[in-house]
Structure 1
Amino acid sequence: MAQDPPMPSFLTNFFKLTSGTVIGQAAAIILIPIVTRIYPPEFFGINQLFLSIAAVILVVSSLSYNFAIMVTESDEDSMNVLALCVLCAISISAISGAILVGFGDWFGSALNTPLIVDYLIWLPIFVILGSLTEILDEWLSRKERYGIIARSIVTNSVSTRVFQIGGGLIHTSPLGLILGSVIGAGLSNLSRLRGLREDVALVKAVTKDRMRDLAIRYRHFSFYASLGSLANSMSWELPAFMLAYYFNPAIVGYYALAMMAIRLPMGIVGKSITQVFFQKASEEKIQTGDVKNVVREIHTRLISIGIFPFVVFVILARDLFTFIFGANWLTAGTYAMILAPWIFTVFIISPISSLFGVLDRQKAFFSFEIVTLCTWTILFFIGGTLGNPVVTLTLFSIGGTFIWGSKCAYLIMESEAGYRGSIHSLVKHLLLSVVITIPLMIGVYMELPFLLLLGIAGVTAVAYYLQIFFKDALIRKEVMRMIRGSVSPEHIEWMERLGLLQK
């Protein structure tokens, strides 16, 4: 018997996770221009180095056992894995904190940023909070409590910006940016912990013997996934380290804002899709033995949804940065425009990257990340030697696009989903995006006022997504179903008479 396509249930969970996130993230985005007018690029650079060091430690803090929370068959075993992750996170955070604080002067000298030494004391706290976020998100995803995750993301985003602004108004220093991140992570975890109240009884199932048995059973997660995640994190954070080494903290600050501006709005959708896809792919693998239907249905639509904002961003990047963040951040706009193709590639591939765990391909994941890290090191060495950050980031973006594209090809091959649908979707929607944004390109060429350009971009966005809505039957069906579930019956009948809904 043929199975029903997995898209509707996927979209239901996806919209549940993102709908509560968009408003909060929008508020956080609105607050960023205030932050950029309080702190100079140098302070952004120091903050980015702090976050980059923390990110490298964070990926190995639970020894990747957090990925096993989703795939264990019973909730009792999953809770034992969760407890194991917490113990690992506390231990590794304490050890890494002692090393960083003890050798702080050496790290400051190596990164060409001596000021960072004063703030390393906060790293263990931030790492523990970040680890707890990842661990709890895996559990909440397993239980499909996406609304709790969404509210926690909102709490983190908004509270981080608010405390960064408050700290900067009291005394402008990198500490305000760093403490804002620490406090935001702490408050968001309180929200997540409240979502575990109905699971308290499962804590009684946690025992040392069972934790040890599960640690042995899932040791392949710990070894290959941890090494692969470490290489992945180092490749993501390497630009900040290398830009600091070859240039200065101000260049790191421009890069940090560029990445923040690109990744924050895409992260609203990207992280939500990744969490829901991982849950759905794991479930599909257990029930049917393969994941090709999930990959085939999701990946092509991820391309169609994500490519248009990327095209618009490339067209407006420089004007967007100077208008929103101030004239001092024009360089960051140039960096963002250069990095956008790579970030888009990451956006459409990141969700299916969870297939490395679902399909038990940890060795392949590790190999890809080692190749990526080595490639980044070579490209940044070349760019740093030439002494030009624009050339350096251009090489980085081109290399990233090719490497992540190769990773995508491998995962599609392993899932047996087939390349044709993804390639067709990419070419089709890229051409459609370019055609629809021609008025916007003309407006930029004519140097129209920026607010008018935003209006044109909004009109083109409506035109593009209406095309998606009316041509994609699965998306249209799910959107209609959600409308019917949220609108009163009398309004449904009225909309059907007008032809706005299908009967």
Structure 2
Amino acid sequence: MTASQPETETLVESSFGKGDFARNVLKLAGGAVLAQGITFLVAPVVSRLYTPATIGTQNVFVSLVSILSVIICLRYEYAIMLPDTDREAANIAAGSILIASLISIATAVILFWGGPGLTSLLKTPELLPYLWLVPVGLWIQGIFRVMNYWNSRSKHFGRLSVAQVVASLTTSSAQIGMGVSGQATTGSLIGSWIAGTTAYTGVLTIQALKGSWRILRDGFRLPYILTGLKRYQKFALIDSWGGFVNALSWQLPTLMLSSFFSQTIVGYYALSNRVITMPLTLIGNAIGQVFFQRAAELRQDPAKLSTSVRMVFRVLVALGLLPALVLTIAGKELFMIVFGSNWIEAGIYAQILGLWMFFLFTSSPLGILMPALERQEIALIMQVVILLTRIAALTIGGATHNVYIVLGIWSGTGVLVYGGWTLWNMKIAQVPLASVWAILLRYTLRALPFASILLVLKIAFHPSPWLIFCAAIGAVGGYYLFLMRQEVDLYRYLLALKDFRKVS
């Protein structure tokens, strides 16, 4: 049964603020789609220029930076969204930059003395000459996070889209340029990543300073900075631990696979992980960032917040379920066609992790609800649970010296944990459990026919990888077309985006 037009309009407006939420998501998602599209288009070239071992070592470097970057500002960047006045927000931004600078310096000192031991532990001695770039990358990430949320506060989401595209073009150009010139090394990949991050940060900083130079400049007044940091100290005292634990648990497979196996295995995992988390990067992060701004506005209106959370969950399930099923069924063939026969192993990893990706995709954007409601202690407890289950899964699996078992246990525990986290967020937002199950059942029934056709084709007829590839693309495209024709709410959700270009 479909909703009437007035009911649908009310739902869309209460969920998205008369289309503002949806338009802002499309701005972010549009930039993410283009940026990730560029990355995806060059990935088959990069995978043929660089070896899995080289990509694996670079991924260890990025993992180290990623773990530390989430606490580079002690999570005060999230607090930029919350003050009533821009002056107060500028004080938080200034304090975040100062904290990022101090932590970067401390990291440089620690790595100067402890770098050899770290690379020995991770079995990556070839990474030692590049460890000095870790604090550099951290500081750039700190500035990026501040400018990212400053632009989000002012609802300049279009700037974030432009920055994403510039970063993707910079990184991809550097990777290919170095690769075709015969410099397909770990250093080239690390340098390309630094260049892309710098470009991203530079665009956001320039745009922010153009419109807010005086406000940001006046924010660098120590008494006001200290007042602001004290007001939002829960971000540093509680949420920073949650962020660190989350980042550590997220990067744990890379580091433990490096320790248990080889850089080649890490390279396979890196590519599969990049592909399966692409929907999260494309859509989930965009929804999460705009949802944070929206949830902060609706903190005092539980009914509207509940409606918004329910609609966001519905969109995430509708968009994410079938791609996860297709990847689980045909990941091996998809990777062979797109990335080359050397990466078939990565496709098998993607098949193992496919369903985990779906639960991650639906839970991560909703997890931003806790900081928006200043309930960081709940998020911290959950992140500790996630970390402990991941350590247990990877340790038990690693003891078998079988990477398939490692990834299988990792995926299974991830499904349980992220499924539980989603239900908990729904409870906090006062979304009835019956609504959650109804949404899951609704889109499972819609996705299964398309997934079943692909599964029967693969098992019964043993077609060529190219035919499976075409069938997979057709299944996903047909599913989305079906949703647009049958789901009135989703169709009107897209209609609410029609004038997004008019929003600055």
Q: TM-score higher than 0.5 here?
A: yes
SS, match of residue 144 in structure 1: coil
Gap change, CA 1:302 and 1:473, over 3 Å in 2: same
1:133 equivalent to 2:144? Answer yes
Q: Which residue is equivalent to 1:331?
A: 345
1:55 equivalent in structure 2: 66
Say which is worse superposed, 130-139 or 56-65, in terms of deviation.
130-139
Asked whether the 8 Å contact 1:54–1:126 carries over to 2, the reply is yes
Asked if residue 87 in structure 1 is aligned to residue 98 in structure 2, the reply is yes
Deviation at 1:56, TM superposition (A): 1.2
User: Which residue is equivalent to 1:304?
Assistant: 318
- Counterpart in the other structure of 1:420: 434
- Confirm or deny that 1:219 pairs with 2:230: no
Change (3 A) 1:486 1:234: closer
Does the 8 Å contact 2:15/2:309 carry over to 1? no
Q: Distance in 1 between matches of 2:223 and 2:493?
A: 45
Deviates more, 1:198-207 or 1:72-81: 198-207
| Structure 2 residue runs without a partner (length 5+) | 1-9
- Contact 1:72-1:78 at 8 Å conserved across structures: yes
Q: Does the aligned pair in 2 maintain the 1:296–1:418 contact within 8 Å? A: no
Rounded Cα–Cα distance in structure 1 between residues aligned with 2:184 and 2:28: 35
Q: Sort the Cα spacing of 1:387 and 1:155 in 2 relative to 1 into closer, same or farther, 3 A.
A: same
- 2:188 corresponds to 1:176: yes
Query: Equivalent residue for 1:97?
Result: 108
Structure 2 residue corresponding to 1:375, chosen from 368, 371, 389: 389
Contact 2:353/2:407 (<8 A) preserved? yes
Shift of 1:385: 0.9
Q: Indicate the residue corresponding to 2:257 in structure 1.
A: 243
Distance 1:298-1:91 versus aligned 2 partners, 3 A rule = same
Deviation at 1:238, TM superposition (A): 0.8
Give the alignment's TM-score, normalised by structure 1: 0.92
Distance 1:485 1:391 in 2: 46
Gap regions ≥5 residues in structure 1: 488-503
Match in the other structure for 2:4: none
Structure 1 CA distance for aligned equivalents of residues 350 and 469 of structure 2: 18
Task: Compare relative contact order (CA 8 Å, sep 6+) and give the higher one, 1 or 2.
Answer: 2
Q: Does 1:351 align with 2:365?
A: yes
- In structure 2, distance between residues paired with 1:76 and 1:314: 49
**Equivalent residues, number:** 486
Deviating more after overlay: 370-379 vs 227-236? 370-379
Is contact 2:164–2:200 with CA below 8 Å preserved after alignment?
Answer: yes
| Counterpart secondary structure, 1:62 | coil
Distance in 2 (CA, whole Å) between partners of 1:382 and 1:348 is: 27
**Deviation at residue 286 of structure 1 after TM alignment:** 4.8
Q: CA deviation at 1:482?
A: 4.2
Report the counterpart of residue 438 of structure 1 in structure 2: 452
How far apart in 1 are the matches of 2:133 and 2:416? 36
Cα 1:406–1:480 shift into 2, 3 Å: closer
* Partners of 1:195 and 1:53 in 2: CA distance: 29
Partner Cα distance (1:47, 1:83) in 2:
32
Cα RMSD (Å) of the superposition?
A: 2.0
In the alignment, is residue 316 of structure 1 matched against residue 330 of structure 2?
yes
TM-score by length of 2: 0.92
Return the letter of the residue paired with 1:457: A
Partner in structure 2 of residue 194 of structure 1? 206
**Compared CA separation, residues 189 and 459, structure 1 to 2 (3 A):** same
Structure 2 residue corresponding to 1:21, chosen from 24, 27, 32: 32
Deviations 1:294-323 (A, max 9, x none): 112211221112112112222221011111
Partner of 2:7: none
Indicate conservation of the 8 Å contact 2:279/2:320, yes or no.
no
Aligned to 1:500: none
Alignment deviations for residues 296-354 of structure 1 (CA, whole Å, 9 cap, x no partner):
22112211121121122222210111111111111111111111111211111111111
Conserved? CA contact 2:334–2:469, under 8 Å: no
- 2-structure distance, mates of 1:364, 1:225: 9
Indicate the residue corresponding to 1:501 in structure 2: none
Q: 1:364 to 1:287 in 2, by over 3 A?
A: closer
Q: Using the alignment, how far apart are the partners of 1:449 and 1:476 within structure 2?
A: 36
C-alpha contact (below 8 Å) 2:32/2:281 kept by paired residues: no
- Would you say the 8 A contact 1:20–1:151 is kept in 2? yes
